[in-house]
Chain A
């Protein structure tokens, strides 16, 4: 799959933003006033900014509102609705916390549920696609949810919680890579089933339909970026999970240094998740590539 920057920015930032909103809704940390303003500004900036970025890849962004209508069948539509509701409910909760010094716990809990539902629906957009075996796995929602929770805890300054959640997210990431590497082969789809000619012998793509490229090849067949996949996995894992864990676990007396380390941990985690998300797209093989003798 073509790793479109808009979708990578969207899933990375909104995942973290909704993760932070989920913790803020729980009262972790239980903040009001200016401190709450900073937390909520960060969360809304990432969640909302991510959603804005996702509209950049639309062919007709001005019609984006129509995407809220088909919640009965479409995960993308459900995601849109969940995101709007989560932002609205947490917006109200933020108003109370920032301007009235009130933490409306029930509203916060509802916001937490909606924030997590948004991340889950995002993950299901990818998970539902049988055409991309590497995404069509139960581990895909696990990746999105565990990353969002770990990042959210990190941003919310929940040190102990984020250590546990980072360990879980890191383990999920490794399991996802391991299972994903076998996904296409174990899906049973190959050029033989794609053409229906497999029973007659070994099928080879002899001539493509056109000498030039096309939308399908640009969108679904991304071979170049996979060359450095292993190196990028190491970078993603080191930045996203190992380095933040080390920074959190180092015994630190000085509060300033502790905050500085936390900030570095957040930035490293952000870069690591973005790299992992880039791989999520670049490594995903769409079965349509088989018609072109590619994957």
Chain B
């Protein structure tokens, strides 16, 4: 059914910290790995070792340079995956009912056995979160690792999306953004979490935490500098003899 639920019990999603992300792409790789080996059609590659390699990814990391009016430019790494929008246009455009948003947790999923691969949902997504798998002919998207987060066969610590579990910088957080008392909601409130392209009216669940202001590098006088001045020592003993002996050889000093 491609009609959106009026409301969802929970709003599970990600909070991505643009201040902390180091742009290592570990989340990209772990996502590709988990989602190739587990639920749904594998994420195929086309000509992976050829001249023009390409493949299906559910999560990609961009890097942007932001140049303020004054001061130094800042490099910001920017992971991007499905934002599990409350008003998801990809769901309502689907002609087959393959695209749906779950009432219980708000996760947007694709029923791969009903998808005809028309691509219209990818057209309707402003974020480029959906990619048509060329091998399978069906639409692939982030499932929020629906096969991990409720999976009782996994240790509890692993019951989060693969990208969150993998991130070495702790830049990715997972939780219920519909609950104002959840850790992720508090984080969003504290750090001023933002929506991407709010003007599109998609009401994304995933939030991005903006980079914190950078420390200023100021001209300063170091009172300790004289005390820390390098102390040149004349070599003694064997090294001293060697130094002098080498100085006497023709060829000049370095």
Contact = CB atoms under 8 A, between A and B. Distances in A.
A104 to B, nearest CB: 31
Contacts of B97: 66, 69-70
A251 interface: no
Contacts of A67: 95-96, 116, 118
A193 B115 CA distance: 31
Contact of B66 (A63, A203, A216): A203
B116 A58 contact: yes
Contacts of A212: 52-54
Interface in A68-110: 68-70, 72-77, 80
B242 interface: no
B95 A210 contact: no
Given A214-B131, A288-B125, A130 B69 contact: no
Contacts of A130: 89, 124, 126, 200-201
Interface residues of A, number: 58
A193 to B, nearest CB: 5
A63 B60 CA distance: 30
A209 B74 CA distance: 18
A63 B96 contact: yes
Given A66-B96, A80-B95, A213-B52, A208 B62 contact: yes
Interface stretch (B134-142, B156-164, B216-224, B231-239): B134-142
Given A59-B115, A63-B96, A193-B198, A201 B66 contact: yes
A60 B62 contact: no
B67 A196 contact: no
A3 B82 CA distance: 25
A203 B3 contact: no
Contacts, number: 198
Given A66-B97, A209-B60, A288-B125, 16 more contacts: A59-B139, A67-B95, A67-B118, A70-B2, A70-B97, A74-B95, A130-B124, A188-B199, A195-B78, A203-B64, A207-B62, A208-B62, A209-B57, A212-B54, A286-B123, A291-B62
B142 to A, nearest CB: 14
10 contacts: A59-B115, A76-B95, A125-B93, A194-B197, A200-B211, A201-B74, A209-B62, A215-B134, A219-B119, A288-B125
A125 B62 contact: no
Contacts of B169: none
B132 interface: yes
A159 interface: no
B68 interface: yes
Nearest to B23: A207
Interface string A31-75: 000000000000000000000000001111101101111101111
B116 A215 contact: no
B188 interface: no
A131 B200 contact: yes
A197 interface: yes
Interface of B: 1-3, 18, 25, 28, 52-57, 60-69, 73-76, 78, 80, 89, 91-98, 114-120, 122-128, 131-134, 136-139, 194-201, 208, 210-211
A197 B76 contact: yes
Nearest to A197: B66
A72 B2 CA distance: 8
B128 A59 contact: no
A214 B57 contact: yes
A255 interface: no
B13 to A, nearest CB: 16
A202 interface: yes
A197 B77 CA distance: 11
B48 to A, nearest CB: 10
Contacts of B25: 209
Residue among A67, A80, A205 with most chain B CB within 10 A: A67
